[in-house]
Homo-oligomer: A and B are copies of this chain.
Amino acid sequence: MSDHGTQPSDTGPTTPDQQVSQGEARSGQAPQGHSASPVYSLDAHTQRYAQRTAGMTASEIRALFSVASRPEVVSLAGGMPNLAALPLDSLSEEVARLVSVDGQSALQYGSAQGVPQLREQICEIMALEGISAHPDDVMVTVGSQMAMDMVTRIFCDPGDVVLAEGPSFVGALGSFAAYQTDIVHVAMDDDGLRPDALRETIDNVTRQGKRIKFLYTIPNFHNPAGVTLAVERRAEVLDICAQHGILVLEDNPYGLLGFDGQTYPALRSQDPDNVVYLGSFSKIFASGLRVGWVLAPHAVREKLVLAAESATLCPPTLNQMIVSRYLSTHDWQGQVKVFQEQYRERRDAMLSALEQHMPAGCDWTHPDGGFYVWFTAPEGVDAKEMLPRAVTQRVAYASGTGFYSGEFGHRQMRLSFCYPTPERIHEGVRRLANTITDELDLVRTFGSAGRRPASGPQAPSPDTA
């Protein structure tokens, strides 16, 4: 069964899908990316790599992506926002003005902390979720991914424990693994992270003599689980962490993408001293600009700036100024409403198609915002093994295994409704339902249930019952 092993650093679906969007054939790369592969004798540098590099393995899913990217395949795998509604013409004029009038500064190096005016605007955005913050405590990053990398860099030694929901964002798991941390999952249910499970996990880890550095959590419209941390649980989660001296790393890229315009109070708003907050313009404006941010207690923010200088010197000035101008010259909140409506329509298309087509025994979450539905197939289906057959049936998804550190998620899939049109989503779900039905027929005929340990109390997949 070792061939099913999922590495914590499996960078999985988001990036590869994006890579495909660039029209790149990456075939043949995945096998070479595996350190266990005999192909590796071709690498004259094998003996030179750092220990951490052994944990950097390419997603097994990648080999499929050159196939999955064909236009006839409906991809429910990626996390690309739908940018079709962006006002490109007026944005183009604004960017042109920026380059011609302020090019000398827009094209020049900037500070590692980020453009001051943008940091002020970021504080205004965070105020929408109840956060009161000073621009000096904000650092702009090359997307939230860099913020995760920097936070892990300053806090984590090899062997330190990071707590993360199970499942969790694959990119975050990749950052944590790159610093050789020990990722321990905490169970969720339909109301998000379970406080009782958090307490139990902390006790278990502490009993093993390990040190927990922080809890990584996506409270709103979770990626990939599609659930939201109940408001009444938030203070409890914060209390538990504070009591145990555990920092909270709150990742909130989807917070403004509630389908009814609802927002939730940020964890940071309730405990400014023990929460490091991550935000991003990738989902509310434009992902390709790679502008995210981190808000941290002042002394932590100072360390983050020092770390960022050694990582990228400074984030791109032009991109920061584009975002800043966009925020001040466009109705960005009206644009967020347009996104909300688009994604709600797509979520509705996915949920109704799932109801209509899926065989008995399937479960899925019902997100109120964000990009993703977390789907659980009937007993006997292995989502990772089934993927090539799904692609043959012209539908792709992200196998649940990529969202865990360890042997979890084999019956799960992340289904994205952000990018394809409602019609394509419906068709994709129909094909997926057919694939699962065929798979269940195979299982009934040849028997493959039991190959995988059944989900026991250790399996931290969200309770979707």
Please give the residue numbers on chain A whose beta carbons come within 8 Å of chain B beta carbons, in ascending order: 9, 11, 14-15, 18-19, 21-24, 29, 32-33, 40, 42-46, 48-53, 56-58, 79-81, 83-84, 86, 88-89, 91-93, 95-97, 99-100, 103-113, 115-116, 142-143, 145-146, 149, 153-157, 160, 171, 174-175, 177-179, 213, 245, 247, 273, 282, 286-290, 297, 299-300, 302-303, 306-307, 309-319, 322
**Distance A153 CA – B52 CA, assembled complex (angstroms):** 8
Q: Whole-angstrom distance from the CB of A90 to the nearest CB of chain B?
A: 9
Contact yes or no, B11 A306, CB < 8 A: yes
* Contacting residues, chain B, for A108 (C-beta < 8 A): 18, 21, 80-81, 83, 286-288
Q: Whole-angstrom distance from the CB of A108 to the nearest CB of chain B?
A: 5
Q: Name which of A104, A143, A287, A288 has the most chain B CB atoms within 10 A of its CB.
A: A288
**Distance A133 CA – B288 CA, assembled complex (angstroms):** 27
Query: What does DSSP make chain A's interface, helix, strand, loop or mixed?
Result: helix
Contact yes or no, A307 B53, CB < 8 A: yes
Contact yes or no, B53 A111, CB < 8 A: no
Contact yes or no, B149 A312, CB < 8 A: yes
**Distance A83 CA – B105 CA, assembled complex (angstroms):** 9
Q: Whole-angstrom distance from the CB of A307 to the nearest CB of chain B?
A: 6
Question: For residue A93, which residue of chain B has the nearest CB?
Answer: B96
Contact yes or no, A177 B310, CB < 8 A: yes
Question: For residue A274, which residue of chain B has the nearest CB?
Answer: B44
Q: Whole-angstrom distance from the CB of A78 to the nearest CB of chain B?
A: 8
* Contacting residues, chain B, for A45 (C-beta < 8 A): 247, 297, 299-300
* Contacting residues, chain B, for A19 (C-beta < 8 A): 110-113
Question: For residue A48, which residue of chain B has the nearest CB?
Answer: B155
* Contacting residues, chain B, for A56 (C-beta < 8 A): 154, 303, 306-307, 310
User: Which one, B23, B100, B110, contacts A92 given CB within 8 A?
Assistant: B100
Q: Whole-angstrom distance from the CB of A401 to the nearest CB of chain B?
A: 17
* Contacting residues, chain B, for A11 (C-beta < 8 A): 306, 309-310
* Contacting residues, chain B, for A247 (C-beta < 8 A): 45, 48
Contact yes or no, B178 A153, CB < 8 A: yes
Contact yes or no, B110 A145, CB < 8 A: no
Contact yes or no, B154 A313, CB < 8 A: no
Contact yes or no, B32 A299, CB < 8 A: yes
Stoichiometry, as copies per complex, reads: 2
Contact yes or no, B24 A111, CB < 8 A: yes
Report if A149-B310 is in contact (Cβ < 8 Å); known contacts: A15-B109, A95-B95, A108-B83. Answer: yes
Q: Whole-angstrom distance from the CB of A379 to the nearest CB of chain B?
A: 33
**Distance A106 CA – B88 CA, assembled complex (angstroms):** 11
Contact yes or no, A104 B80, CB < 8 A: no
Contact yes or no, A154 B49, CB < 8 A: yes
* Contacting residues, chain B, for A289 (C-beta < 8 A): 107, 316, 318
User: Which one, B9, B18, B109, B175, contacts A288 given CB within 8 A?
Assistant: B109
**Distance A177 CA – B211 CA, assembled complex (angstroms):** 24
* Contacting residues, chain B, for A171 (C-beta < 8 A): 309-310, 313
Contact yes or no, B15 A153, CB < 8 A: no
Contact yes or no, A99 B95, CB < 8 A: yes
**Distance A452 CA – B14 CA, assembled complex (angstroms):** 55
Contact yes or no, A103 B86, CB < 8 A: yes
Contact yes or no, B88 A99, CB < 8 A: yes
User: Which one, B110, B174, B178, contacts A22 given CB within 8 A?
Assistant: B110
**Distance A107 CA – B92 CA, assembled complex (angstroms):** 11
Q: Name which of A43, A142, A315 has the most chain B CB atoms within 10 A of its CB.
A: A142
**Distance A50 CA – B113 CA, assembled complex (angstroms):** 21
Contact yes or no, B302 A29, CB < 8 A: yes
25 A-B pairs within 8 Å (CB atoms) are namely: A11-B306, A15-B309, A18-B111, A18-B313, A19-B111, A19-B113, A21-B109, A32-B299, A44-B273, A44-B297, A44-B299, A50-B153, A51-B157, A52-B154, A52-B157, A83-B103, A92-B97, A107-B286, A107-B288, A109-B288, A174-B309, A177-B310, A288-B316, A288-B318, A316-B319
* Contacting residues, chain B, for A322 (C-beta < 8 A): 318
Contact yes or no, A50 B160, CB < 8 A: yes
* Contacting residues, chain B, for A53 (C-beta < 8 A): 153-155, 303, 307
